[in-house]
Amino acid sequence: AAGIYDPMLLLSCLDASLAIAPVLKRYQTVILTSGTISPLEMYPKILGMSNVVTTESFSITMARRCLCPMIVTHGPDQVPVTSRFGLREDPGVVHNYGELLERLAKEVPDGMVCFFTSYRYMEQVIEKWYETGVIARVLQHKLVFIETPDVVATTYALNLYRQACDSGHGAVFLSVARGKVAEGIDFDRHYGRCVVLFGVPFQYTLSRQLRARLEFLREHYQIREAEFLNFDAMRSASQCVGRVIRSKKDYGVMIFADQRYARQDKRSKIPDWIKAFIEPGNVVMSTDVAVHTARNFLLRMSQPYQEEGGLTASVWTPDDLKKLMEQEAAAQAKTAARGFTQQVDALHPLEKVDAPHPLEKIASRHPLERAPTSKRLRLTLGGV
């Protein structure tokens, strides 16, 4: 009723270091590993780690170049694609997003996963796609499933999505960054041959919970607002695109569909294992060129190939590991033997049994070198 004050109390943890503090206190050495810890410089700050030894990002070894990340910045009409608040409702942006989805659904086999920045934005875009016929044209090639805030409905949609992929028909799953699908579901093998990220998944900046956390980080860790928002958005984006690669033999297409991903402050925060596969020509792309590139990549990946064996393979068998250990042991033994020989050669000349005395070397160059020692001494004195 009007005039009735109904407050809501929301409890939120602003300091992430409270959760990991017992672990750091109990153990002397702690190693944090993940495929989406990027950028690395931010985590020691927000986790309260003051004695960090090193932060390193390792690349992954693949049997072949099985990743195809692309940054799509505009459509064929040169209208930029972006989820920026001032342009997200622009008809040209929604049209280019719809054309990208429609053409990918036609070219990509099996499953496709698409992520939006929020439920509200996804509902707005899907409504426009229904009105313009995009959804109807996509349904000619694949089934479409949508994530909802209801956990039960989303789980049921995921099961139907997997059944559609297993049947060979293929499907498209439309979901939201930071949702259940983005952070807890794997789309390995044919369940995810392509992942599309529509926009940069920034948090709602007017949220009181977010504003309180930004203020806390600024006061206690001197982390600027823009720095944390970029870090959080790119971390969420990495989690989304990483859903499709779950093993060394897997392959898939990753599309960052927003012109802001081409900027250095965003692109530098993409994990190194993804950046290593970004070709120079795949940074600023149009939607039609991206579809053509994805088609060629998937066609190449679908061809049979002979996986390398032995120590040059990306995955070692127990026999390969045993052989490597034997080679390392032989190399260490050879190095130790070579070091012992060099140590013997480095001894002082007087410590060698067969080494001649320095005076004998000088005497060997004298004309009377063959005369007895007493004669040499007498002749020398007589000459004086």
Please report the DSSP string for 40-92 in residue order: TTTHHHHTT-S------------SS--EEEEEEEE-TT--B----TTTTT-HH
pLDDT at site 373: 42
Higher pLDDT, 216 or 39: 216
Lowest mean per-residue pLDDT among 7-16, 149-158, 259-268: 7-16
pLDDT in tens, 54-69: 667 676 777 778 899 9
Whose CA is closest to 211, among 231, 227, 225? 225
Would you state the pLDDT for residue 352?
A: 46
Query: Helix or strand or coil: residue 248?
Result: coil
Across 19-33, 109-123, 265-279, 320-334, the highest mean pLDDT is recorded for 109-123
> What confidence score (pLDDT) does residue 135 get?
96
> Is it the case that residue 272 has pLDDT exceeding 50?
yes
Q: Which residues contact 273 (CB under 8 A, 6 or more apart)?
A: 35, 57, 58, 59, 60
- For CA atoms 196, 202, 207, 208, the dihedral sign is positive
Tell me the C-alpha distance between 295 and 249, whole Å: 19
Give the position of tokens 């692309």.
Answer: 70
Decide: 260 and 82 in contact? Cβ < 8 Å. yes
- Give the sign of the dihedral formed by CA 345, CA 349, CA 354, CA 358: positive
So what's the pLDDT on residue 116? 96
Tokens of 95: 């049209």
Mean of the pLDDT values across residues 250-273?
Answer: 91
Comparing CA positions, the residue from 204, 202, 197 lying closest to residue 175 is 197
Q: Is the pLDDT of residue 316 over 80?
A: no
* The pLDDT of residue 357: 53
Residue 340 pLDDT level (bands cut at 50, 70, 90): low
Is residue 356's pLDDT more than 50? yes
Q: Does the pLDDT of residue 259 top 80, yes or no?
A: yes
Query: Quick check: helix, strand or coil at residue 133?
Result: coil
pLDDT at position 310: 67
Output the average pLDDT for the chain: 84
Tokens coding 295? 């088609």
Percent of the chain with pLDDT over 70: 83
**Residue 115 is which amino acid?**
F
Buried b (16+ CB within 10 A) or exposed e, 329-363: eeeeeeeeeeeeeeeeeeeeeeeeeeeeeeeeeee
pLDDT recorded at residue 313: 67
pLDDT band (50, 70, 90) for residue 90: very high
Q: Which two tokens stand for residue 105?
A: 């659904």
